[in-house]
Every structure is written in C-alpha cells, then in structure tokens.
A and B are shown apart, each in its own frame.
Chain A
Amino acid sequence: MIDTDITQLWVYLSTKPLTGLTITLVAYAIGFWLYQKSNRNPVCNPVVIAIALIAFVLHVTDTPYATYFEGAQFVHFLLGPATVALAVPLFRQTETLKRAMPVIVFGVLFGSLVASASTVLLAWLLGASPETLASLAPKSVTTPVAMGIAENIGGVPALTAVCVIATGIVGATLGPMVMNMARLKDWRARGFAMGVASHGIGTARAFQVNETAGAFSGLAMGLNTMATAITIPFLWHWIFG
C-alpha cells in the first residue's frame, strides 16, 4: 500500500524539472563537503562524486537521462555565461601577458597541439572508433568549450564531458608528481603546464599550492580555451575532410 504510494509519488516527482535540479545541487553539495573533509584532496573531486551519486540515483529509480536533464539543464545553461566570464580572470593577467606575449602564445599553441595530437594518435593506434576520437580530441580544454568542439567535429558531447573531467583529475593528481621527477622547479612553467593540459581542475590545484603557479595556470587555461577552440575544428576538417 505504502509502497505503491511512494512509487506514485516518485512517478509524479520525476516528471518535474525541480527534481533533476535539486538532485544536482544536493549531490554537488555532498561532493564538495567530502572534498573539504579530505583536505581538498584532488582524488575526492566534487564533480566525480556528484556524477557518481546522481548516476546511482538514476539507475536505482530507473530514470532516463533525458528526464533528469529537464531539471539539470538550468545548471547546464550557466556553462555558456561562465565561459564568457573567464574573460575577467584572463584580463587580470594582462600585465603578465604583455611582458612575455610571444613566449606565452607559443607555449599555449605548443601545449594545445601536443595535447590533441598525442590524444588522437594514441587512441587511433589503440583502435578507438571515429566518434570516440572526435570526443577525445578537445579533452584538455574546459568542458563547455570541449563539448562545443566535439559536437562540431562529430564527437559525442556527453563522452567529451566525461573525458574532460577525467583529464583534469589525472593532471591535478599525477601532473605535479611527473614534474617533480623531471626536476622542474619554475612555478610559472609548472602552473602554465597544468593550465594547458588540465584546464580548471588543474588550475584549482595549482592555486592551492602557489599563487604564481595559479595565476600562470589560469592564464594558460584561458588562452588554451581560445587556441584549441580555433585550431582543433580547422585542423580536423582539414585533415579528415
């Protein structure tokens, strides 16, 4: 009796956009709380925790992704304005930009090409499908832009989102270790590399350790967003027609 009541209540609720929106915010709040509890350990990434929690809820309640997204789209929509807003932190780095402009532009183009070319080449050698290749190519730029690029070159935006977030976590957790092994000590170079390869998640990590590294990471991330959004689609259409 009570069982059917609850089922009916869920059937009713699951059609409301409010449910998808609420689940998104609650799951992220839990993820963020755990992240802080773990002393901001990058392995406890709030995004990963939130995605896992929501995926679990959707699976248990047998709710299709499309139904969930009707509510979650309100959060998703903000990705566009937030991308535009990246102009502000970028503007704060104008002085740095002016001082070493040619080097920075060269570094961003270099990092952007290494990231996308090595990704596509490696995945292709290991037999990935064309859709997977196109979804992986923009993995080093921030999610909304990467999804836009993937869509443009025939990838699957949802797969791209997952790969981008995974890339950020790999960079934030393992990146500093490899740079230590390579005996790289310049905070500016270290931050810059983190921003180019692992976007916002890498930048957040760089800021935690060193202000200079964080500033250079944010700068590299912002410029790489633009560089990759321009280079990948043109190169892709030029190479694959």
Chain B
Amino acid sequence: MIAAFALILVCQLFGEVISELFDMPVPGPVIGLVLLFFGLLISRKPPKVLTDAADNLLMHFSLLFVPAGVGVVTQIDRLKGDWLPIAAALIVSTLLTIVLTAVLMSKLLPKHTSSSGVTATDSGSDAS
C-alpha cells in the first residue's frame, strides 16, 4: 500500500516538475495521470496494490472537493454580482453539451452486433 501511494505521488511529482520546467499550462496532476496511464499500458497488468490504492483514493473522491467548495464563502460578493451569467452558463451550457454530445456519439459509435445491454429497452423512461 505504501509503495503504491509512493508511486502515485512520484507520478504527481514528475508531473509538477514537467509542468514547471516546460512552463506548461496543464496542471501537474494531469501530467501525472498521463504518466501513470502510460506506465499501466506498458506494464499491461497493473499490480493489485496499486489498483486498490487508486480505488481507495477515488472511493470518496467527492469528499476531496469539500474544502475548495467551502471557498464559496469568500465569493459571495462575486456570486451576487454575476449570478445571472453564472446560473445561465451552468444550466444551459451543461444541458446543451449533454444533448449534443449524446446525439453525436449515438450516430458515430459503431453499432454492436448484439444490441442487448446497449440500448434502453424500456423506451428510456427510467434512464440514467
């Protein structure tokens, strides 16, 4: 477990260093993600301790958003000033993105030979 966490931190550290060194706009952890992903591709079969450590970190991924989210208390004035564009952008743009992407992908994704489990058979009444 310690080795797995160490490996994850090493990937992040390399990511931060690469991001800093080449003055890249991409955040260090994302470069770390790419590094680890390619490492996994090369190793083909990732060690169980590593996948367990990753799953544990991600199990309560949303908890990790809380401290940053509480930062809203420092943004009350800005939210008051820009509430309309923020609310509109959040709702309209998110739903627009969902519909357009879903339409595009349902046209482009290769059709499966067996359709079972791929489409909503109950006419999508209780769909995701």
Chain A interface (Cβ within 8 Å of chain B)? Answer: 20, 24-25, 27-28, 45-48, 50-51, 54-55, 58-59, 65, 68-69, 72-73, 75-76, 78-91, 94, 99-100, 103, 106-107, 110-111, 114-115, 118-120, 122-129, 131-132, 136, 139-140, 142-145, 147-149, 152-153, 156-159, 161-167, 170-171, 174-176, 178-180, 182-194, 196-198, 200-201, 204-206, 208-213, 222, 225-226, 229-230, 233-234, 237
Contact = CB atoms under 8 A, between A and B. Distances in A.
Nearest to B121: A185
User: DSSP class of B's interface residues: helix, strand, loop or mixed?
Assistant: helix
B1 interface: no
Interface of B: 5, 8-9, 11-12, 15, 25-30, 32-37, 39-41, 46, 50-51, 53-55, 57-58, 60-75, 78-79, 81-82, 84-86, 88-106, 108-110, 117-120, 123-128
Contacts of B123: 185
Contacts of A210: 120, 127-128
Given A184-B106, A193-B105, A196-B101, A46 B71 contact: no
16 contacts: A47-B62, A65-B73, A80-B12, A85-B54, A88-B54, A99-B110, A103-B105, A114-B97, A123-B82, A143-B65, A161-B72, A163-B86, A189-B104, A191-B128, A209-B128, A226-B34
Given A143-B69, A192-B102, 17 more contacts: A51-B66, A69-B70, A75-B64, A76-B68, A78-B57, A87-B39, A100-B110, A103-B108, A128-B85, A136-B89, A145-B27, A178-B99, A182-B102, A187-B119, A192-B101, A209-B126, A212-B117
A124 B93 CA distance: 13
Contact of B37 (A25, A46, A91): A91
B50 to A, nearest CB: 7
Contacts, number: 375
Given A111-B101, A161-B65, A186 B118 contact: yes
Given A76-B64, A111-B101, A187 B128 contact: yes
Given A122-B92, A179-B102, A50 B66 contact: yes
Contact of B97 (A46, A166, A197, A234): A197
B127 A176 contact: yes
B89 to A, nearest CB: 4
